[in-house]
Structure 1
Amino acid sequence: MTVDASAPDGSALEAFADQMRLLRRECAWKREQTHTSLIPFVREEAEEVVEAIESGDPAALCDELGDLLLQVVIHAVIAEEAGHFTLDDVARGVIAKMERRNPHVFGDAVANDAAEVLTLWNAAKAAEKRRG
């Protein structure tokens, strides 16, 4: 089975998640991986994103972001298999976080410059930590 990489905008990520689910079923190596066993790969891919940014090469950055996205997706699929959360849960969580941490865009707060935005962000983050 192949995955349609030309899927409409927004559905390519779900197609990738479907591909990873298939790989977890059909590929022995992927099936054996755990969150813990994948830690070195997450670190490596994050560092390669940094290197691509520093190189100034947009094609390299696109490629390395794809590799980092692979890590996000495989971890989400592993969590889904365990009944913990899904890739959609991850996306919904970060959407909610961006709304909380950007009250100057999604609420009534005012930020006149980047420093004020950072102050609002840090205040929202601190409030989240206090709530647990």
Structure 2
Amino acid sequence: MRELGILSRAIHHISDVKYKEFNLQKGQFVFLTRICENPRINFIELSNMLKVDKTTTTKAVSKLIDLGYVYKECDKLDKRAYNLMPTAKGLEIYVHIIEEENRSIDVCFDGFSEEDKDLALELMRKMRKNIELDWINTKNKGDR
């Protein structure tokens, strides 16, 4: 697990440095990416998708709104909820984020065979699925 942590921190650090030109800080690119890929997502769904608390999501999304990358609109069915949408400016930045993500993937998998890449993805998916129930249980205990 330490190896995954190191890998994650290194990629986030590199990304944070590269995205400074877009005024994105501390992993905000992840929030923008998920909003672009899931237009109309709400705050709770976004928090659950990224496995972060609602406060972290609210702070990150507020910054993205201030930067003009995202906007929120009132949900038609639940007037207390908001759906998140990327702006044209946000979609433009998203293209750069995906290019950098693909570059990082290429660096990480340098020297890997296609079989190695497939196996790594399969194993990481299994690990994510295994930990999700534990995350949900822990999150629910903290919400009480």
**Fold agreement, TM-score > 0.5:** no
> Which of structures 1 and 2 has the larger relative contact order (alpha carbons within 8 angstroms, sep 6+)?
2
Q: TM-score range by the shorter chain?
A: 0.3 to 0.5
Please report the TM-score for the alignment, with normalisation by the length of structure 2: 0.32
Please report the TM-score for the alignment, with normalisation by the length of structure 1: 0.34
Higher strand proportion (structure 1 or 2): 2
